[in-house]
Copies of this chain bind each other. A is one copy, B any other.
């Protein structure tokens, strides 16, 4: 969260000022999702654990799923912008690599990513949501490649290959240590994909 947002405070239903309410709610939600499971956790539970009210929760999150997926739009926007900003001479795969770099620059909180992954893996509804998010990301990258006048099916193939690398690299990074960074794992995975396809 940017610094400017951190200093914004609100009064909750009790009339108190609540600094860092979003961070506290996010932390409380992650704790409860891991302890009890996502489905067994209510917004009231999250607010109670954070020492806040449900009303305060809904100032920051549309629902309890948004605690986990709130960053998806920002991630997609960052990846598309990076792809658009790649030099005109960049190949489709080089443009995709730029998008992956942008993702890695956003996804630096290894502990949050690890806990988030545990919660998502444990719940069918969330696994489906994650698949939809990835499909939307692939469509957005494919669209941005077509804007660079990459024809079909190359645009869709490059976008899908990029998502394949993203998915596999992210899972490897989350399952292992914070270092090497996600960016490193992504570059390595992309190189491995290139080797695999050239060997075939």
Query: Do B200 and A94 have beta carbons less than 8 Å apart?
Result: yes
Copies in the complex: 2
Bound: A192/B160 CA distance, A:
13
Q: How far is the CB of A191 from chain B (nearest CB, A)?
A: 10
Is A54 among interface residues, defined by CB-CB distance under 8 A?
Answer: no
> Across the interface, which residues of B come within 8 angstroms of A160, CB to CB?
163-164, 167-168
Is A5 among interface residues, defined by CB-CB distance under 8 A?
Answer: no
Hey, what's the 0/1 contact readout for A103-131 against B, CB within 8 Å counting as 1? 00000000000000000000000011001
Bound: A172/B142 CA distance, A:
14
A36-44, A60-68, A150-158: which one contacts chain B?
A: A150-158
> Across the interface, which residues of B come within 8 angstroms of A92, CB to CB?
196, 199-200
Query: Do A157 and B165 have beta carbons less than 8 Å apart?
Result: yes
Query: Do A157 and B193 have beta carbons less than 8 Å apart?
Result: yes
Is A91 among interface residues, defined by CB-CB distance under 8 A?
Answer: yes
Binding site for B on A (CB under 8 A): 91-94, 96-97, 127-128, 131-132, 135, 152-154, 156-158, 160-161, 163-165, 167-169, 171-172, 189-190, 192-194, 196-200
